[in-house]
Amino acid sequence: MRARAATAVLLVVAASAPLWVWNPYHLHTLIMAGIFAVLALSLNLLLGYTGQLSLGHAAFFGIGAYASALLSVKLEWSPWLGMLAAVVLPGLAGWGIGRLALKLRGAYFVLLTISFAGVVSLVSVNWMDLTNGPLGIPGVPALAVALPGLPELSFRGKGAFYYLVLAAVIAAYVLCRRLVASRVGRALVALRENEALAESVGIDGTHYLVLAAMLSAMMAGAAGGLYAHYTRFVSPEVFLFTYTVTMVIMVVAGGKGTLAGPVLGAVLFTVLPEALRALASWQWQMLLYGVLLIAALFFMPRGIVPALAARFPRAPVSS
């Protein structure tokens, strides 16, 4: 009961945010927190539930952003079809990388993902004809819904877009939750905990890990598509390694292998840097990120959410 009540309160607070957050910049920060929450949930699917670390998540995010932006700008497709491509293409990339590296796992997967991100970023800078190079692609159309008989609902404004992002976060959360509770989720956790035992009862390790990598890449791609239609501009900056690092810190500090952890981490690490912006420059903040990551691993190795759950045994946490 308490868990339900807490969830309801959280939802009401989240849904009413545009009513009491009157500063557009603060609303922008919340939208970015939502996009990062989807990203952190997607990374957590791999890092938290399979133990495989992807350092190429900025690549899936960026491919999603570029796919949707290019299709809707150059081919003038509906932005919604662009969003579909923003899910499918990164999914294919995730599948391919998973197939290549997840037989060996561990360090191999990390290294392949990180160098994949490097190459995709190189392509975005060098393939001028397609991507316009470092100049990026301006004029990405806003998402809009036109139902027959009703006025068109555009997600151009921050308030409207906030709800779209909130819906995406809830969808990603529910998807992860259902996935974790399903056969697939149990197989992934079994593989993480004891691979030999899991395989002895007939779980095909590589198969499930590739599936997880693909789903994770699809979610990250969706976040990229949202980002492209929100900022209406895409440049090679979407591939910055900083984005991947931020996601890793959100997941590790929030609590990997929990569902609430990545969301909490995403909100904390988007809102805090904005709040601290006046106190510390960007470089100091990145330095702090590094120290925080190390400190979290030393002093709170399981993350904030499990630490809170241990202190308040009945707090609403699903681990």
Partner 1 sequence: MDQLLQHLLNGLLLGSTYSLLGIGLTLVFGLMNVVNFAHGEFYTLGAYGAFAALVAASLNFFLAIPVAILAGALIGAACERLLLRPLRAASIDTTMLVMIGLWITLQNAELLAWGGVAKSVPTPFPTEPVAWGPVSVSRLRIFVFVMSALLILGAHLVLTRTRLGRAMRATFQDRETAALMGVSIERIHTVTFALGAGLAAAAGALLGPVFLLYPSMGDLAAQKAFCVVILGGLGNFVGAAVGGLLLGIAEELGAGYVSSGYRDAVGFVIIVLMLLVRPSGLFARAERVG
100 contributes a contact to partner 1 by CB under 8 A: yes
Contacts of partner 1 in 40-59 (CB under 8 A): 51, 53, 55
Task: Find out whether 305 and 255 touch, Cβ atoms under 8 Å.
Answer: yes
* 8 A C-beta contact, residue 253 and residue 293: yes
Q: Report, in Å, the least distance between residue 183 CB and partner 1.
A: 25
39 binds partner 1 (CB under 8 A): no
Answer for which of 11, 134, 197, 284 binds partner 1 (CB under 8 A) is 284
Q: Is 115 in the site for partner 1 (CB under 8 A)?
A: yes
Q: Rounded to whole angstroms, how far apart are CA atoms 215 and 221?
A: 10
Q: Mask: binding to partner 1, 52-91, rule CB under 8 A, as x and -?
A: -x-x------------------------------------
The candidate with the shortest Cα–Cα distance to 247, out of 13, 47, 1, 20, is: 47
For the segment 298-317, give every residue that binds partner 1 (CB under 8 A).
298, 301
Instruction: Identify which range of 204-212, 225-233, 241-249, 263-271 contacts partner 1 by CB under 8 A.
Output: 241-249
Cβ closer to partner 1: 80 or 241?
A: 241
Cα-flanking dihedrals φ and ψ of residue 137, to 5°?
A: -115, 110
Q: 210 is written with which tokens?
A: 């590739």
Residue nearer to partner 1 on the CB measure, 123 or 315: 123
Contact status: 116 vs partner 1 (CB under 8 A): yes
Q: Is 289 in the site for partner 1 (CB under 8 A)?
A: yes
Q: How far is the CB of 317 from partner 1 (least distance, A)?
A: 22
Q: Which of 217, 252, 267, 305 binds partner 1 (CB under 8 A)?
A: 252
CB of 299 to partner 1, least distance (A): 11
Residue ranges binding partner 1 (CB under 8 A): 51, 53, 55, 100-101, 103-104, 106-108, 110-112, 114-116, 118-119, 122-123, 125-126, 241, 245, 248, 252, 283-284, 286-287, 289-294, 297-298, 301
